[in-house]
Amino acid sequence: MQIKDLKVGMRRVNIEATVESISATREVQSRYTGRVHKVATAVIFDESGKIDLVLWNEQIGMISPGDKIKIENGYVSTFRGKKQLSIGRYGKLSRV
């Protein structure tokens, strides 16, 4: 699968891409549990395009710009009108 093929609402997304950049880490409070979490956004790309990848807590330190990564069982959603790829609690992120 390529980034250009990703559509909002897709589940069980498996993709390989390269990390272009990672935003500064920020803290957000969960609406449901009240716990504070760290979140960052990575821009990833392949030969077909780019997409934002949401990274939570320990996922943030797992990758760096220039890394080739593999995402298994991700999903595509929107945040503030922009398409994004998320790993979620059932997905897997690894370096290739």
User: CA-to-CA distance for 51 and 37, rounded, in angstroms?
Assistant: 22
User: CA-to-CA distance for 2 and 38, rounded, in angstroms?
Assistant: 28
Q: What is the pLDDT of residues 6-36, one digit of tens each?
A: 999 999 999 999 999 999 999 999 898 999 9
CATH of the domain at 57: 2.40.50.140
Domain count, the chain: 1
Q: What is the pLDDT of residues 31-83, one digit of tens each?
A: 989 999 999 999 999 999 999 999 999 999 999 999 999 999 999 999 999 99
The two structure tokens encoding residue 36: 């504070």
Write down the residue that tokens 């980034």 correspond to.
Answer: 3
Residue numbers of the domain that contains 90:
3-95
